[in-house]
Structure 1
Amino acid sequence: MYAMPYIRHLLALLFACILVPLLAQEAPTQPVRLELPLKAEDVDIEVIALPDSSLLVYHKTSNLWETEATFHFTKYNSQLQEVWTDTAALAPDNDYIRSYTFGPHTFLVYGGDNLRDYTFVRLSHETGETWHKKFEIEQLEEIYEYRVLQGNFFLIGRNRKDGKSLLLHLNPESGEITPLPSLYGEESSFTDMLSDHEQDRLDVVISESNGRISRLQVKSFDATGKLLKNYFILQKEDKSLLNAEVTPGDTTQKLLIGTYGTRDLRYSQGFFATLMASQVVEGNFYSILELNNFLKYMKPRREERARRRQEQRLRSGRGSGLNYRLLLHDLIETPYGYILAAEAYFPQHSNERSSVLSMTPSGLRPYKLADGFKRSHAVALGFDKSGQLLWDNAMPLTGITTYYLRHAVEVQPLTDGRVVMAYPENTRIVYQIMNDNRYNDEKTELELLPYEENEKIQTNEYPGLIRWYGNSMAAFGFQHIKTKGKGTRQAFSITKITF
């Protein structure tokens, strides 16, 4: 008499076990869409995700001669409903450069026609109220990175005098601008800058090289720009530490996670993770050959051939033949540790013979700027909080080339522990969901949907995709939407995509 409930319970359990994997493979949804009556030729626009699950949309409109301009800021909630909108009275020649969001504020920096003029904006997420101030920064002619710590600004940019990178501290109250001790050698470069708000300090990671070997250095500053401590991280044996991202946390817990090379410092041969305070990297090196999926962008036979040749090279002592230029993403913190994503790229030149010349000139050394940077694939690696590699996965990036060396894909951890990599491709979103080491060779795409069934998105100019909150991303772009029997309209569209 008790068999039937037990059987029903067992069947329900089996059904759930079957259903969960099926649900995990369902296509992403597009629950909300917003259209703004804006055209690409009329505005400059940025979409910024805020920590309270809302979006900040900035756009600038100006007259034909750019003698008058209005700077608009609008906040939308998670359902893309307007919360508030406001404007800021900035000079018409100001153009957006970068932003940094922390707590209840977003900080934005703009550049003027005079390359020494920079305007900084602090915007309240709650009210839209803005503070802004212009500074003349004589030392810089371009800003690469921008962070804020306790209301003080830290900038990395190009030194006007010698073209090298420079780290500056700016006190917005006093207007005092101070160069901070950072780079020394000709081959030195910045690889990361982290505002660690819990520790009230700023960490800057520097790669130092003499052309043959490379090491890393971390400099920690307080909010006033005072140097707190230097950390020198030496390489192990024949491995040179090329670049790294630094994790938040106190000194005993901070990790450096990055890439290493061997003979040619332009190329990475693998990844490493180490405690920042360890001074010497003793372990946690992971060569490309050891990773499960790094080479999965290749066809199976090509991957097998590449692995076989690499093993033969290593046995004969010729060194690695797997050489990749890798563009690192910022570390993503997860409940179990960290995710490091990277994009493998190679510069393209109109004259292939010039591809061996330096892309970062120093002194009178000849060089040739790349015509573009083509991607082969992107990778993601999951580490625990001690720096042990948990999993790795990869996504092919066929046909993606960017003129500037900037990120082409977006990476977002999902609430169930999986990770999604995605990028916009005209009216589609190409994505891959990663589940630990299990590699999926299927190319999955999502077509962006218009408001109505009788409409079609014909084109999507300047498409973008950003990580938002939870399992949702925000896709956007200037679209031409055709309505059956009613012609075509233009709009700047934002679509919420939930995985």
Structure 2
Amino acid sequence: MKNLILFFVFCTYCICAWGQIKVVQRTELEINKKVGENYKVLNLEENGMLVFVESEEYLKGGRKEIILSKFDTTLQQQWMRAISIDYSSNVGLHYQDGDYLYLLINKEDKEYDILKIHIHGGLIIPIKYERIVKMEISHFAVIDNVLLFGGSVDGRPVVIHHDYINGKPKVLPAINTLKATINRLDICKNDKSIFVLLTPTTNKKKESFYYNIFDIEGKLLNNTAVPYEKDYILYTFQPYFISQNEWYLFGMYSLLAKDKAQGIYVTHIVNNAQEFIKFYDFIYFKNFFNYLAKRKDKVLSKIKGQREEGNIYKHDYNFVIRELKILDDKILFLADSYNPIYRDGINQGFNVNPMFLSAMNMSYRSLININDFMRSPSASRSPVGYKYRHGIVCAFDKTGRLLWDNSLEYKDLESHFQVTPQLQVNMGRDSLTLLNFQDGKIFYKRTDKSTTVEEIKEIEIPLKEEANKLISDRDREAVMSWYGDYFILYGMQQLKAGSSGNSRKVFYLSKLAYFSPKLEEREKKAD
């Protein structure tokens, strides 16, 4: 009996000591009322974090400042810079190419400038873009000295190629002849080729998508129309490049004529020929339906019964898709399911601003469901928010074979204004951490790849070791995967400023990790 008690005490100690998310480091930027508090964070992964704020202070000559602060992985500030832009301008899309980060500055009348920032030294080089067509830029990429801008002009897709050192801007060929929308603008860094993937706006039952490949000089290497899949509609696209001659494409597919996910597809393209396409219905995922809790077995039994009768159960999920994560030899596909919320409580289809999703590096294709609009005269109104069901993560090997899946269920999780990614995932050699942040608390699971874990742990992240300094005023807090085993938590907090009773408002960054003895030892060495 005594040994049993000691065993339980030891287990409890281990859980308390190692079985939780902890704050590793924290840093704060005090809010200057003249500058404002509209801080944004750019994840540089192993290179740290870039924080910037567009000042609200009006300067002489109709100017304002962008203040940039670079932090390393220990949250030590490496440099801070300020650059002035027109007060009516704002920071738009961004792209990292090697040691440089490029910020697209949106000006009036669809004019643009670019800031080239050396992420280690803080050198900032303004780049002037000489406009040759008037377009709103929705896609942005950089390779060496070549800037690539994607958008549309008079309803036609356009990509501008601009070698800002050796040449003037030019329009890439064979794109503006298509009746299509640019869905992806990507770089294959292995051979420095340019990929443009487009989805048709007419004759959707003829082609699933188009893709054009160019060399770094802008020379067209090939343009291909991929035939329509008779039984499946492909509607999101996430590429994994090996070379310009071999690549994989991952995404959601539907059985309905609208963006409602039935499962995930993987296709392999070699020398412009589709080697294979695989379709993974959600019914074959081990953990997809965990969010249903006690209803799971009943729903699965119903789906199985329909399949035995020769019918396919049609799922009806909205998903916000993330960029693929490449970890070791695995390809991770992440997505969050959600429903739009309307004032009358009815959930219906809608359009998401593609500029917003492109800025967040997410893939999106906008399709209008005419039947929904005809059914309800008020269906064209905007949602007042979004309610999230669960986040999913699927691992594939580099042949497109599904290895395992897992999920994190959400409880009363909602967002307003825009649908935003929620699930954050870090994967170690033998473990998987799934995490999201809600109402000042971290909700997470720690598991082994596809192992089902029913219990979702909940922890309130303290302010260092002095949680009593935190006043209830919290704002715009969020968490995201950072690098390795780490997450970053950031946002606004109102803090006590000592015994005087005054308070101060800060923008903070907290480095988080799921603690294990090995990680504890590593952090001690780092200090």
Once the two structures are superposed, what CA deviation does each residue of 1:140-160 show, in whole Å capped at 9, x if it has no partner? 654333211122222333x36
Say yes or no: does 1:156 pair with 2:150: yes
The equivalences for 1:9-20 within 5 A come to none
Residues of 1 paired with 2:320 and 2:132: CA distance?
Answer: 30
Once the two structures are superposed, what CA deviation does each residue of 1:428-477 show, in whole Å capped at 9, x if it has no partner? 23333342111223222332322452422523211132332211122111
Say yes or no: does 1:219 pair with 2:234: no
Residues of 1 paired with 2:24 and 2:71: CA distance?
Answer: 15
The equivalences for 1:465-484 within 5 A come to 465-482=479-496
Give the C-alpha shift of residue 252 in structure 1: 5.6
The letter of the residue matching 1:79 is T
More helix by proportion, 1 or 2?
2
Q: Please state whether the residue corresponding to 2:86 is helix, strand or coil.
A: coil
Give the C-alpha shift of residue 320 in structure 1: 2.6
Instruction: Name the residue aligned to 1:4.
Output: none
The equivalences for 1:97-496 within 5 A come to 97-112=92-107, 114-135=108-129, 137=131, 139=133, 142-157=136-151, 159=152, 161-162=154-155, 166-173=158-165, 174-178=167-171, 181-182=174-175, 188-208=180-200, 210-211=203-204, 215-234=208-227, 238-251=231-244, 253-277=246-270, 279-280=273-274, 282=276, 284-301=278-295, 303-350=296-343, 355=348, 360=366, 368-371=380-383, 372-403=385-416, 405-453=418-466, 454-482=468-496, 485-487=499-501, 488-496=503-511
Residues of 2 paired with 1:437 and 1:280: CA distance?
Answer: 30
Report % sequence identity: 18
1 or 2 for the larger relative contact order (CA 8 Å, sep ≥6)? 2
The letter of the residue matching 2:401 is Q
List alignment gaps of at least 5 residues for structure 2. Answer: 1-10, 353-365, 374-378, 515-527
User: How well do the aligned residues superpose, as a CA RMSD in angstroms?
Assistant: 3.4
TM normalised by structure 1 equals: 0.84
TM normalised by structure 2 equals: 0.80
Residues of 2 paired with 1:400 and 1:221: CA distance?
Answer: 43
Say yes or no: does 1:63 pair with 2:57: yes
The letter of the residue matching 1:168 is I
The letter of the residue matching 1:220 is I
Once the two structures are superposed, what CA deviation does each residue of 1:304-325 show, in whole Å capped at 9, x if it has no partner? 2222222333344443332212
Residues 457, 204 of structure 1: CA spacing in aligned structure 2 closer, same or farther, 3 A cutoff? farther
Q: Assess if the C-alpha contact under 8 Å between 1:233 and 1:281 holds in 2.
A: no
Residues of 1 paired with 2:68 and 2:140: CA distance?
Answer: 20
Q: Assess if the C-alpha contact under 8 Å between 1:393 and 1:434 holds in 2.
A: no
List alignment gaps of at least 5 residues for structure 1. Answer: 1-17
Residues 482, 413 of structure 1: CA spacing in aligned structure 2 closer, same or farther, 3 A cutoff? same
Q: Assess if the C-alpha contact under 8 Å between 2:207 and 2:226 holds in 1.
A: no
Q: Which residue of 15, 27, 32 corresponds with 2:25?
A: 32
Residues of 1 paired with 2:408 and 2:319: CA distance?
Answer: 14
When the two structures are aligned, how many residues end up with a matched partner? 478
Residues of 1 paired with 2:46 and 2:349: CA distance?
Answer: 47
Give the C-alpha shift of residue 32 in structure 1: 1.0
